[in-house]
């Protein structure tokens, strides 16, 4: 996990923990470990509300049944008028290569290709069902098959 602070900009990079978080969310017997990992992972932002949350590919590391956790987490983290930005699959038959998304500095985003494929291929409809408190405000199809989206409260 990587944490960076630039004034009011807080970067909480959880992509390295995404598969572990998904496994813990899926394991009913891991409630204590799950609580400890989530508390440690999200400690810098607990009690804060953000105007923008960059999800990037994080949702594609969560199973369909765990998208409701992402819904609850976004509900707690976003301001009333806040938005979240991320990616899902446009076509479930097309494998997507994982990317390392990040913030290189206060004014610079970065994306590097990784070697592994993303474990889940949520389509727009699955995202909408998994995040019932939010609606897709805008979406754009990317060349690599990702559907870029912006969501806000429904």
pLDDT for 43-78, tens place per residue?
878 888 888 888 888 999 999 999 999 999 999 989
Percent of the chain residues topping a pLDDT of 70: 92
The CATH number of residue 69's host domain is: 3.40.50
CA distance 113 to 116: 9
**What's the pTM?**
0.85
What residues make up the domain containing 111? 2-153
- How far is C-alpha 26 from the chain's CA centre? 17
Residue with tokens 């912006």, as numbered in its chain:
150
What's the pLDDT band for 147 if we cut at 50, 70, 90?
very high
CA distance 75 to 121: 23
Q: How many domains does the chain have?
A: 1
Instruction: Indicate the SS3 state at residue 143.
Output: coil
- 131 close to 114: Cβ distance less than 8 angstroms: no
What is the arrangement of strands in the sheet containing 146-153, beginning at the earlier edge strand? Answer: 50-56, 78-89, 146-153, 134-141
């Amino acid at each position: 996990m990587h944490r960076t602070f630039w004034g009011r900009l807080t970067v909480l990079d959880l992509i390295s923990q995404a598969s572990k978080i998904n496994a813990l969310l899926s394991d009913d017997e891991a409630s204590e470990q799950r609580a400890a990992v989530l508390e440690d992972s999200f400690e810098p932002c607990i009690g804060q509300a953000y105007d923008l949350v960059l999800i990037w590919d994080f949702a594609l590391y969560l199973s369909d049944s765990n998208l409701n956790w992402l819904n609850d987490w976004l509900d707690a983290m976003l301001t009333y008028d806040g938005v979240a930005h991320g990616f899902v699959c446009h076509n479930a038959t097309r494998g997507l290569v994982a990317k390392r998304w990040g913030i290189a500095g206060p004014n610079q985003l970065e994306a590097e290709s990784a070697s592994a494929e993303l474990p889940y291929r949520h389509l727009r409809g699955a995202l909408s069902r998994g995040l019932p408190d939010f609606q897709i405000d805008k979406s754009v199809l990317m060349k690599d098959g990702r559907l870029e989206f912006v969501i806000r409260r429904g």
